[in-house]
Structure formats: structure tokens, C-alpha cells
Amino acid sequence: MIRNRIPPWEKVAVRFKVAVDVHTVVQASLKKQLRSLSQITWMSWDDAANYLLAEKLDPATALAYANKSIENEDRYDNEITKSRILLTLGRKDESAAAEKKALALANAFQIHTYARQLMSEKRRKEAFAIFNDNALKHPDQWFVCTGLARVYSAQGKFEDAAMEMKIALRAAPDSQKVYLDGLVKQLEAKQDINQ
């Protein structure tokens, strides 16, 4: 009896490597997309600039995309993108000017969110200055009080921080109350909420 020495094909495995240069593919796709109707919106250019920035690719092109976005519609979003790109390029004075312009265009929540982002980047001094400025401009917003509470907490002024957080807690939407109540308890225990 002769046995078939060829294995059945469903049991044969062949290894091979597939590699794709994702960044090259995406950059080519961006260029193609930005030639279509999406080129007339600020958001498409800003998204493209943010992709290049996040992936640390071609900051000069990212800046050109941010400028095109601003040309289409000058907004907080694209000015902040431009500021971040300029900072990446080492152009600190221009970055600061773009940041200042962005914050002038921003609403209270955008300002607050930007300050929180700065805190996550360990840029506390800048974040605290923005929280304080936001409180002067928009004292009626509950989340602005949480920003002030963060400033006071960092300074060791736990009673003031707890007071601000309680104001925020009273005005906040129900979805935020449990979180804010936990922060109040931390502040009452004299624990810095910025850790």
C-alpha cells in the first residue's frame, strides 16, 4: 500500500510577512482628500494637521495645513493646533501668540479643557494662569469652579478649594455629581486633587 506523501492543502501553512508604510499611505490619502470638497472646510485641514502633529510627521506640512484651516475659518481649534505645531518647531514666541489668539476665540469650556490638557502635560503654572483667567471671564460656569479648586488645592488652600468644588457640585449636571463629590471629600481630607 502506497501512502500519499502530499499533505492535504487545508493543513498546509505558509508564513509570510506583510508590511505597509501606514504613514505614507495616510499622507497620500490626506493630500487626495484635501483636493476634494473637504478642502473648503476648516475641519478637514485641521484634522490633517493634527494627524501629522500626533504622528510626529512633517511639521512644515502640518503648519501649512493649520494655516489653510485658519484661512477657511479662524477658530479656537485650528489656532491651538497651530500653536502646538509652532511649539514643536521650536518657535516659542509664535506659538505663544497663536495660543493667545486661540484662547481669545475660545468659549469657557474650551479654555477649561485646554488648561486640563496643560495639567496632563505637567505644565501646571500655565494651566493655573488659564484657570484663573477663565474664572474672571466666566464666573457663572460650574466647571470653571473646578478649575479654581485645582489651583487652590495645588497651593494647599484646601478650604477654598473645597468651597469652589461645592459650588461646582451644586450647579453640575447629575452625571458629574458623584465624581465632584469624591473630589470634595479629598479636599476636605486635605488631599491635593491634582495628583
Last residue of a domain, one of 106, 139, 167: 106
pLDDT at 22: 72
pLDDT, mean of residues 84-103: 97
Degrees, nearest 5: CA angle 69-71-75 = 65
Residue 67 structural domain: 20-106
Domain boundary among 86, 106, 126: 106
Q: Please report which confidence band the pLDDT of residue 13 belongs to, taking 50, 70 and 90 as the band edges.
A: confident
| Secondary-structure percent of the chain, ordered helix, strand, coil, rounded to 5 | 75, 0, 25
Residue 34's CATH number: 1.25.40
Residue 155 pLDDT grade (very low, low, confident, very high; cuts 50, 70, 90): very high
Give me the pLDDT at residue 36, please: 67
- Given pLDDT bands bounded at 50, 70 and 90, which one contains residue 89? very high
**More confident: 22 or 187:** 187
Same domain, 102 and 122: no
- Give the CA distances from residue 28 to residues 25, 52, 68, 148, in Å, rounded to whole numbers and listed in that order: 5, 12, 18, 45
> What is the pLDDT at residue 177?
96
131 has a pLDDT exceeding 70: yes
Which of 31-40, 151-160, 185-194 is predicted with the least confidence, judged by mean pLDDT?
31-40
Number of structural domains found in the chain:
2
